[in-house]
Amino acid sequence: MASLRSLPWLGAGLGYRGAIHDFLEHERRNLGFLEVMPEHVLEGPHEGRQRLLEMAKSLRVVTHSVSVSVGTAGGADSAFVPRMEQVSRDLAAPWASDHLCFTKVDDRNIGQLTPIPYTNATLKEVERSVKRVQQAMKRPFLLENISAYFRYRQNELTEPEFYQKLVRRTGCGVLLDVNNLRNNAYNLGEDPKRYLDAFPLDHVVQLHLAGSDWEDGKLLDTHGSPIHEEVWALTEQVLELAPVKALLIERDQTFGPLEQLAGELRRAGKMMEAAR
């Protein structure tokens, strides 16, 4: 399997969403890559799936899912992982990713990226789970940090410490969501810079940037707003320290005005080029 360092540099990209198919076609030359959710390929409407696959034929693609659930006690979704690998293989994705969280318990779908406790016992469970996923996947597997809206007071490790130990033990990569760092900082009283310093930045392969909205006094990763300047500034810092191969602008709630999204894509592309 390819080491994280030898993975191809992809530049800036966007996530495939059927609602912006035409826009993605229009922006094709500015797209370094396309991030595809295997769930859309496996379960999406037939017509939409065909359009997605047609576009994916001529672009570099990485896969990013929400269904692996590496944090579930007893292991990740063993039925989903081979299907994800199949999609990743079909699309020639150099890596695949999901989130460090749990979304399923006893086949019950919680429908949310739910935080796991950062304890040594959980670390052992997740380590086993990630290793099994890695065995099933024929490409590097990355884990993304989620926006957490609650935390376990009895955590034995911080989130970055948990990541540090996990990547050392499994060799998995990190998909660092810079917006989630900022959200956690505001919602849970953490310092984003402290997070950046403490994260295993040498394992960061991909970044996610998104917009957030204030709602009920909380900062939500709605993926429906322009990226905040503070997130851009944090991204600059990450790019100085981490061997980032791909930077994704995440948008999947409200897309318009699309000129704004196009502007963010170009800005991200320039940042990636400058840091290359």
Partner 1 sequence: MSLRSLQRALASVLLDDEARRRFAKDPEAFARRAGLEGRDAALLAGLDAGDVGYFASRRRIDRRAALRADMPLTVAAMEREKAVLRYFRAHPYALEDPLAEAARAAQWAQRAAKRGRASALAADAAAFEAAWLAVRSAPPDAPRKPSPRPRRGASAQVLRLRHDLGEALEDADPAKARRRVCWLVLRHGPDGPEAGEVPEVEARLLRGADGKRSAAALVASVARAARVPAEDARRGLEGLAQEALVSPLRPASSPRRAATRARAR
- The distance of closest approach from Cβ of residue 111 to partner 1 in the complex, given in angstroms and rounded to an integer, is 6
Q: Which positions lie near partner 1, rule CB under 8 A?
A: 18-19, 22, 40, 44-46, 72-74, 102, 105-106, 108-114, 117, 119, 121-122, 125, 149-154, 216, 218, 220-223, 252-254
- The distance of closest approach from Cβ of residue 242 to partner 1 in the complex, given in angstroms and rounded to an integer, is 28
> Closest CB to partner 1 among 99 and 139?
99
- The distance of closest approach from Cβ of residue 7 to partner 1 in the complex, given in angstroms and rounded to an integer, is 28
Which SS3 state, helix, strand or coil, does residue 208 take? strand
> Closest CB to partner 1 among 29 and 153?
153
> Closest CB to partner 1 among 148 and 271?
148
CB 167 within 8 A of CB 203: yes
Give the residue carrying structure tokens 């994704």.
Answer: 248
> Closest CB to partner 1 among 9 and 214?
214
- The distance of closest approach from Cβ of residue 149 to partner 1 in the complex, given in angstroms and rounded to an integer, is 4
Q: What is the number of alpha carbons within 13 Å of residue 207 lying toward its C-beta?
A: 31
> Closest CB to partner 1 among 216 and 259?
216
- The distance of closest approach from Cβ of residue 150 to partner 1 in the complex, given in angstroms and rounded to an integer, is 4
For the stretch 159-162, contacts whose Cβ atoms lie closer than 8 Å and that sit 24 or more positions apart, written own/partner, are 159/118, 159/184, 159/195, 160/195, 160/198, 160/199, 160/200, 161/118, 161/198, 162/100, 162/118, 162/123
- The distance of closest approach from Cβ of residue 73 to partner 1 in the complex, given in angstroms and rounded to an integer, is 4
Asked if omega into 257 is within 30° of 0 (cis), the reply is yes
- The distance of closest approach from Cβ of residue 201 to partner 1 in the complex, given in angstroms and rounded to an integer, is 28
Give the residue carrying structure tokens 């950062």.
Answer: 118
Angle subtended by helix axes 80-90 and 120-136, to nearest 10? 50
> Closest CB to partner 1 among 24 and 201?
24
Which SS3 state, helix, strand or coil, does residue 10 take? coil
Alpha-carbon gap, residue 110 to 105, rounded angstroms: 7
> Closest CB to partner 1 among 221 and 239?
221
Which SS3 state, helix, strand or coil, does residue 98 take? strand
Burial class (CB in 10 A: 0-12, 13-18, 19+), 203: buried
